[in-house]
Amino acid sequence: MKRRSFIQKTALSTGALSLTGTLTYANQFTSAGNAHQFNLKYAPHLGMFKHLAGDDPIDQLNFMADQGFTAFEDNGMMSRDKAVQEKMGDTLAKRGMTMGVFVVDKGGNMANTLAAGKQEHLDIFLDGCRRAVDTAKRVNAKWMTVVPGGYERNLPIGIQNANVIEALRRGAEILEPHGLTMVLEPLSDSPDLHLQTSEQTYLICKGVDSPSCKILYDIYHMQKNEGHLIHNMELTWNEIAYIQIGDNPGRNEPTTGEINYRNVFKWIHEKGFDGVLGMEHGNSKDGKEGEQAVIDAYKQEDNFL
């Protein structure tokens, strides 16, 4: 599943985001006192539990919290109405949930590749970073996803990497005073993407040399592109600030594919990771049954102590 399709699917599945705070969820489901105690900060997204919690985003956030999830991520947060962002931010704060990543709008895509070294592409990226600061303040976010875009095939790879590093340094100058961090995500969606391995992402982060530019290690994408998950996370660990989850094949919840997530989660926990693990995947089954299966899968794979 490509990132654009994933964002569109999750956005559409939530329907219109109301500001009413229907409270229908609170009357139907268990209280926070019965929440499961997870060992790591797993972060669902809107639409993942819509059949159990309803369409209202605030009800969905409360449902996540009552199940024991202590974080949340929303790729499309920048496109949401400001009032909705503020209400979601307030709810996250009240429920003690950590806001995970959102995607920097036009932060780099196949039509706006930072590898090309073009001023017009840089200007679009930097504008996205400036607007991302305002969004981050509304929802108390710290991390935002950046994908540098596609290859510039008429340039040597070293020149492309240098162009990306220079653009990201400029972005870091905007984010660093606010304590914000862009996390670079290597992807498996297309062979035309410039950033595809943890090794290359590590090199670029070292070149940018800023606390505001780190790695988003998406386990699903990296299983497809390079494998050796724990080995490669160990090699790049001091630049990893954010992790995302999805089993392979299928990009659904853990236990549905080939990745031994219990061992991976155990290793991440033993590293002392206190950040967010975004649940950037689909549900393997439809409806309430499928949503409960996601919750049960995380309880099972988190049981590593």
CATH number, domain containing residue 271: 3.20.20.150
| Residue 8 resides in a domain | yes
- Report, as residue numbers or ranges, the catalytic residues: 185, 280
d(CA 121, CA 98) in angstroms, rounded, equals: 32
Looking at residue 2, its pLDDT comes to: 58
pLDDT in the model for residue 34: 84
| Domain-embedded: residue 23 | no
Residue 260 placed within a domain: yes
In which domain, by residue range, is 207 found? 3-17+28-301
Model confidence pLDDT, tens digit, residues 74-130: 999 999 999 999 999 999 999 999 999 999 987 667 778 999 999 999 999 999 999
The total number of structural domains in the chain stands at 1
Question: What's the predicted TM-score (pTM) here?
Answer: 0.91
Residue 22 lies in a domain: no
Summarize pLDDT for 123-156 with one digit per residue, the tens. Answer: 999 999 999 999 999 999 999 999 999 999 999 9
Give the pLDDT of the chain (305 residues) as one tens digit per residue: 555 555 555 544 444 455 544 444 444 444 456 899 999 999 999 999 999 999 999 999 999 999 999 999 999 999 999 999 999 999 999 999 999 999 998 766 777 899 999 999 999 999 999 999 999 999 999 999 999 999 999 999 999 999 999 999 999 999 999 999 999 999 999 999 999 999 999 999 999 999 999 999 999 999 999 999 999 999 999 999 999 999 999 999 999 999 999 999 999 999 999 999 999 999 999 999 999 999 999 999 999 99
Rounded to whole angstroms, how far apart are CA atoms 187 and 84? 29
